[in-house]
């Protein structure tokens, strides 16, 4: 694959880099410390056209290609993973509407998803099930011209500020994988209650909340796709979502190396900069290798998606490698900083915490290995 970027892709990357360095990085530690959702940054992302990157122009989006999207997320993730994952989840919802939505649904929801007020949340996980999506208990019972939803979702990213919820619920559990359907629910709908954000280890400015449905009425026209297609929609969304997480992971790897190199050049021990020591050089070298490999795998996957080629296995490979490499890079960054790396006064402490969840959401590392192995054994 030729990884040479077009002028348009370079322009998107540069725009995202400038935004990340000027708008996100200076405030990232503050938002992390007080766990405040960076709504102003999200609004500015919308103004830049980055929030609706993959939404068609006719519906208010920027309609960029998948490689541009991955490049932008790398830059945002390099500065603040909390903001980057906010955009990633919003895009996941928007892509589902673009792919599966009826014309009226696209006209109604896609323009909203290009704005901070219409921010998307993807509600699948429940208290007793994460990777085992078929174990979902949230029900959607058809009553005349509407569905009535009852149940609970947890760890729903963006829920505290979402204007658009994509919810998967059971419509006929007897049919197993074909017994679930997808629904688009507007924020503030009666019967849907968003709880307080979970107190998290990292990515603390990205709010993950429980969402409870109590006799929540959803018009039948808000069902996304045919009844029974919920699992299919969710799995296709996760394939695209894994490109997003791989991109964010790649950005964190680069941030870790930035901090390691800066500190290693300045820190003097035994009469010379620690960058002169082979032990430190090897940690930097290993992180450079991880970055290049993660970037290549992620852009390869994005190019396959853009070409409308099958990319499920490539998405799993990219997500698995990049997320685990980000955790390795964060470990090395703290190690190079020594005791200072354990202090919140240094950025690597936050990078270490932000990296940890990357191997958990959008499918754990173990799930990625299952996907990869099943594709290899076909």
Q: Which residues are identified as catalytic?
A: 362
Contacts of 346 (CB under 8 A, 6+ apart): 259, 337, 340
Report which of 164, 136, 138 is spatially closest to residue 152, judged by C-alpha positions: 138
Q: What is the dihedral of CA 139, 241, 102, 184, to 10 degrees?
A: 40
Q: What is the dihedral of CA 251, 253, 255, 259, to 10 degrees?
A: 180
Q: Exposed, middle or buried, 58 (CB in 10 Å: 0-12/13-18/19+)?
A: exposed
Are 146 and 217 spatial neighbours (Cβ–Cβ below 8 Å)? yes
Helix H or strand E segment including 238: helix 230-266
Q: What is the sign of the dihedral through the CA atoms of 81, 120, 123 and 244?
A: negative
In angstroms, the CA 250 to CA 322 distance is: 6
Residue with tokens 């990213």: 157
* Cα→Cα distances 362→106, 246, 366, Å: 24, 10, 11
Residue with tokens 């679930």: 180
Exposure on the CB side of residue 12, measured as CA atoms within 13 A: 23
């Amino acid at each position: 694959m030729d990884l040479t970027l077009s002028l348009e892709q370079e322009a998107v990357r540069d725009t995202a880099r400038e935004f990340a360095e000027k708008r996100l990085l200076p405030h990232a530690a503050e938002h992390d410390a007080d766990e405040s959702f960076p709504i102003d940054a999200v609004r500015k992302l919308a103004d830049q056209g980055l929030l609706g990157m993959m939404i068609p122009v006719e519906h208010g989006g920027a309609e960029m290609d998948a490689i541009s999207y991955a490049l932008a997320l790398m830059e945002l993730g390099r500065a603040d993973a909390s903001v980057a994952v906010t955009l990633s989840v919003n895009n996941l919802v928007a892509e589902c509407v673009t792919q599966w939505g009826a014309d009226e649904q696209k006209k109604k929801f896609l323009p909203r998803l290009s704005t901070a007020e219409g921010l998307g949340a993807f509600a699948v996980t429940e208290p007793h099930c994460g990777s085992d999506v078929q174990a979902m208990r949230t029900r959607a019972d058809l009553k005349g011209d509407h569905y009535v939803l009852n149940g609970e979702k947890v760890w729903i990213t963006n829920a505290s500020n979402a204007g658009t919820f994509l919810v998967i619920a059971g419509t006929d559990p007897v049919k197993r994988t074909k017994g679930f359907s997808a629904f688009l629910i507007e924020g503030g709908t009666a019967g849907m209650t968003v709880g307080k954000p979970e107190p998290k280890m990292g990515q603390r400015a990205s709010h993950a909340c429980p969402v409870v449905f109590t006799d929540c009425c959803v018009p039948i026209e808000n069902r996304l796709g045919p009844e029974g297609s919920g699992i299919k929609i969710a799995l296709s969304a996760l394939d695209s979502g894994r490109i997003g997480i791989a991109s964010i992971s790649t950005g964190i790897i680069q941030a870790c190396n930035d901090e390691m190199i800066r500190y290693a050049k300045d820190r003097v021990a035994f009469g010379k900069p620690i960058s002169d020591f082979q032990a430190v050089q090897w940690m930097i070298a290993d992180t450079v290798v991880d970055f290049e490999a993660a970037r290549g795998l992620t852009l390869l996957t994005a190019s396959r998606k853009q070409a409308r080629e099958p990319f499920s296995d490539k998405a799993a490979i990219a997500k698995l490698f990049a997320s685990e490499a980000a955790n390795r890079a964060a470990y090395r960054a703290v190690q190079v900083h020594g005791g200072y790396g354990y202090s919140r006064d240094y950025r690597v402490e936050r990078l270490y915490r932000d990296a940890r969840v990357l191997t958990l959401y959008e499918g754990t590392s173990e799930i990625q290995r299952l996907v990869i192995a099943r594709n290899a054994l076909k």
